[in-house]
Amino acid sequence: MPVNITPSADYYENEDLHGSYQYITLEDIVINYMMSTDDDDFASNVPRHKVLFQARRAFRELYFDAIQEVKVISLELSDQLTVTLPPNFVNYVRISWLGDDNLLRPMASNGYTNIARDYLQGDNYEILFDDDGCALQDDVQGLAELAASGDGSMVNSYTFCGDAFNPNKNMANVYSNGSYVVDKNNGLIKFGSEVFGKTVVLEYISDGLYTGCEGSAEVDLKIHKFAEDSVYNWIYWKLIERRKNVPANAKVLARKDWFNSRRICKRRMNTIRPAELRQVFKGSSRWFKA
């Protein structure tokens, strides 16, 4: 899109425009990149879909590493003590549950719990199969009663023994708020029964490319302007990376440009403001009573 400054009156009236100036859209990035290539550019004559593909990859890389725009949703826990991951979920930042006092209790990831599949077996311990030749598995439905028992156990999950000699003391305090396991393959977060009936709050990151109901329309996919240069550098590097007629030093320089621009992007995104820094230092010398 050409640079089109919206009159301030329109800007304040249209909520969709609020804060939009900090961002540049994916479409603009693709167009700008194609417009800026020269005939003697190593990456000239590249069709738009290849530029688009690399631009999307750059979005992912930067949203994971540098942008870190955290999304938050709150969900009521099912009787199965599970929460389905949001459709644009890539990784979580923090999972908490909401207390009656409206305060969030951060929960701990329980790395000691394994999510098991329970195959059905016959009298002679042979695995049972259905008509399609697939192994029959235990039906996890109907285990709500077990979950509701409040003994902290997770449905279809087991804990390794032997912790007596290696107690997980680091997690001891955090476990008081309960624990969870992220079952990536099934797209679920499984919780311990301490939080039965609670509302859980999931903070997570996405890749900035989701176009479903929870995301943006394709035309509105955007990234912060601090990351714009990094996206261009990624696109250029990736477009020349595997070309035979590009000298190796040009590829190395392009790679360095990308990493350097990503570093600058990260630094800009984590702006250090003097006033905030002073605020932190003031608090550092304060004495706490245990």
Applying CB under 8 A, the residues found at the interface with other proteins are: 27, 30-31, 34, 39-40, 47-49, 52-53, 56, 218-219
Q: How far apart, in whole angstroms, are the C-alpha atoms of residue 69 and residue 212?
A: 17
The answer to whether the Cα torsion of 239, 244, 246, 252 is positive or negative is positive
**Residue 63 CB, nearest approach to other proteins (Å):** 15
Residues 6+ apart with CB under 8 A from 233: 254, 257, 258, 261, 262
Query: Cα 249 from chain centroid?
Result: 34
Closer by beta carbon to other proteins, 15 or else 39: 39
β-pairing, 113-115 vs 82-84, is unpaired
Closer by beta carbon to other proteins, 97 or else 236: 236
**Residue 89 CB, nearest approach to other proteins (Å):** 17
The alpha carbons of the chain give a radius of gyration, in whole angstroms, of 25
Tokens of 88: 């644009």
Residues 6+ apart with CB under 8 A from 95: 106, 107, 109, 180, 189, 200, 201, 202, 203
**Residue 16 CB, nearest approach to other proteins (Å):** 17
**Residue 148 CB, nearest approach to other proteins (Å):** 42
Closer by beta carbon to other proteins, 3 or else 103: 3
Q: How far apart, in whole angstroms, are the C-alpha atoms of residue 287 and residue 290?
A: 10
**Residue 216 CB, nearest approach to other proteins (Å):** 12
Closer by beta carbon to other proteins, 47 or else 122: 47
Closer by beta carbon to other proteins, 27 or else 183: 27
Closer by beta carbon to other proteins, 51 or else 95: 51
**Residue 56 CB, nearest approach to other proteins (Å):** 6
Q: At what angle do helices 48-62 and 26-36 cross, to 10 degrees?
A: 130
Three-state secondary structure call for residue 224: strand
